[in-house]
Amino acid sequence: GAVVSQHPSWVICKSGTSVKIECRSLDFQATTMFWYRQFPKQSLMLMATSNEGSKATYEQGVEKDKFLINHASLTLSTLTVTSAHPEDSSFYICSAPDSSSYNEQFFGPGTRLTVL
Protein backbone atom coordinates (compact mmCIF):
# COMPACT_ATOMS: atom_id res chain seq x y z
CA GLY A 1 0.00 0.00 0.00
CA ALA A 2 0.88 3.65 -0.21
CA VAL A 3 3.26 5.05 2.39
CA VAL A 4 3.15 8.40 4.13
CA SER A 5 6.11 9.48 6.24
CA GLN A 6 6.50 12.23 8.80
CA HIS A 7 9.59 13.95 10.06
CA PRO A 8 10.57 14.31 12.79
CA SER A 9 8.93 11.52 14.73
CA TRP A 10 9.34 13.51 17.91
CA VAL A 11 10.58 16.96 18.83
CA ILE A 12 11.16 18.87 22.04
CA CYS A 13 11.42 22.63 21.87
CA LYS A 14 11.44 25.67 24.09
CA SER A 15 8.42 27.89 24.47
CA GLY A 16 8.38 30.66 21.88
CA THR A 17 10.24 28.79 19.17
CA SER A 18 8.77 27.51 15.91
CA VAL A 19 8.70 23.90 14.86
CA LYS A 20 8.27 22.50 11.35
CA ILE A 21 6.78 19.06 10.73
CA GLU A 22 7.01 17.43 7.31
CA CYS A 23 4.54 15.03 5.75
CA ARG A 24 5.59 13.16 2.61
CA SER A 25 3.80 10.75 0.32
CA LEU A 26 6.59 8.36 -0.64
CA ASP A 27 5.23 6.47 -3.62
CA PHE A 28 2.26 8.47 -4.81
CA GLN A 29 1.24 12.03 -5.43
CA ALA A 30 -1.13 13.85 -3.15
CA THR A 31 -2.79 17.08 -4.19
CA THR A 32 -4.52 17.06 -0.83
CA MET A 33 -3.21 16.18 2.61
CA PHE A 34 -4.87 16.45 5.99
CA TRP A 35 -3.38 17.47 9.32
CA TYR A 36 -4.74 16.17 12.60
CA ARG A 37 -4.01 16.74 16.23
CA GLN A 38 -4.49 14.10 18.87
CA PHE A 39 -4.56 14.73 22.60
CA PRO A 40 -3.82 11.88 24.98
CA LYS A 41 -6.53 9.24 25.03
CA GLN A 42 -8.66 11.16 22.56
CA SER A 43 -9.61 10.85 18.93
CA LEU A 44 -8.01 12.68 16.06
CA MET A 45 -9.12 16.25 15.52
CA LEU A 46 -8.89 17.52 11.95
CA MET A 47 -6.98 20.79 11.92
CA ALA A 48 -6.77 21.65 8.26
CA THR A 49 -6.78 20.46 4.68
CA SER A 50 -3.56 21.15 2.81
CA ASN A 51 -3.98 21.85 -0.90
CA GLU A 52 -1.11 21.76 -3.37
CA GLY A 53 -0.76 25.10 -5.08
CA SER A 54 -3.34 26.91 -3.00
CA LYS A 55 -4.09 28.00 0.54
CA ALA A 56 -4.91 25.50 3.21
CA THR A 57 -8.44 25.21 4.51
CA TYR A 58 -8.61 25.41 8.29
CA GLU A 59 -11.27 23.89 10.53
CA GLN A 60 -13.25 26.14 12.79
CA GLY A 61 -11.31 27.16 15.86
CA VAL A 62 -7.87 26.44 14.41
CA GLU A 63 -5.63 29.52 14.21
CA LYS A 64 -4.16 29.74 10.73
CA ASP A 65 -1.46 32.15 11.85
CA LYS A 66 -0.44 29.75 14.58
CA PHE A 67 -0.38 26.62 12.45
CA LEU A 68 1.13 27.49 9.08
CA ILE A 69 0.62 24.94 6.34
CA ASN A 70 2.50 24.86 3.08
CA HIS A 71 1.88 22.27 0.38
CA ALA A 72 4.97 22.90 -1.70
CA SER A 73 4.80 19.92 -4.03
CA LEU A 74 2.67 16.92 -4.88
CA THR A 75 4.53 14.85 -2.29
CA LEU A 76 5.21 17.27 0.55
CA SER A 77 3.15 19.25 3.02
CA THR A 78 4.60 21.03 6.03
CA LEU A 79 2.98 22.17 9.25
CA THR A 80 4.80 24.88 11.19
CA VAL A 81 3.76 25.54 14.75
CA THR A 82 4.77 29.15 15.30
CA SER A 83 5.72 30.56 18.69
CA ALA A 84 4.97 27.26 20.32
CA HIS A 85 3.61 27.11 23.86
CA PRO A 86 3.20 24.16 26.23
CA GLU A 87 -0.48 23.85 25.31
CA ASP A 88 0.61 23.09 21.74
CA SER A 89 2.21 19.89 22.96
CA SER A 90 0.41 17.09 21.20
CA PHE A 91 0.63 14.27 18.69
CA TYR A 92 0.34 15.58 15.13
CA ILE A 93 -0.65 13.19 12.35
CA CYS A 94 -1.00 13.76 8.63
CA SER A 95 -2.84 11.75 6.01
CA ALA A 96 -3.21 11.67 2.26
CA PRO A 97 -6.07 10.19 0.25
CA ASP A 98 -5.70 7.37 -2.21
CA SER A 99 -5.47 9.37 -5.43
CA SER A 100 -6.89 6.57 -7.55
CA SER A 101 -10.18 6.14 -5.76
CA TYR A 102 -10.35 8.69 -2.94
CA ASN A 103 -12.02 6.08 -0.77
CA GLU A 104 -9.11 5.52 1.57
CA GLN A 105 -6.69 7.64 3.56
CA PHE A 106 -3.07 6.75 4.28
CA PHE A 107 -1.73 8.00 7.58
CA GLY A 108 1.71 9.06 8.62
CA PRO A 109 3.24 7.64 11.81
CA GLY A 110 2.74 10.89 13.69
CA THR A 111 5.00 13.48 15.29
CA ARG A 112 5.02 14.00 19.02
CA LEU A 113 5.67 17.62 19.93
CA THR A 114 6.63 18.59 23.46
CA VAL A 115 6.98 22.28 24.24
CA LEU A 116 8.84 23.07 27.45
The residue ranges that bind other proteins (CB under 8 A) are 1, 6, 31-32, 34, 41-44, 46, 49, 93, 95, 97, 102-110, 112
Q: How are beta strands 90-97 and 105-107 bridged, if at all? A: antiparallel
C-beta of 90 vs 95, nearer to other proteins:
95
Closest approach of other proteins to the CB of residue 86, in Å: 20
Q: Work out the burial of residue 37: count CB atoms within 10 Å of its CB; fewer than 13 is exposed, 13-18 middle, 19 or more buried.
A: buried
Residue 7, CB-side half-sphere exposure with 13 Å CA sphere: 7
Least distance in Å: CB of 83 to other proteins? 26
CA gap 64, 110 in Å, rounded: 20
- Cβ nearer to other proteins, comparing 52 with 82: 52
CA dist 97 and 103 (Å) reads 7
Smallest separation (angstroms) from other proteins to the CB of 41: 7
Nearer to other proteins, 38 or 82 (CB): 38
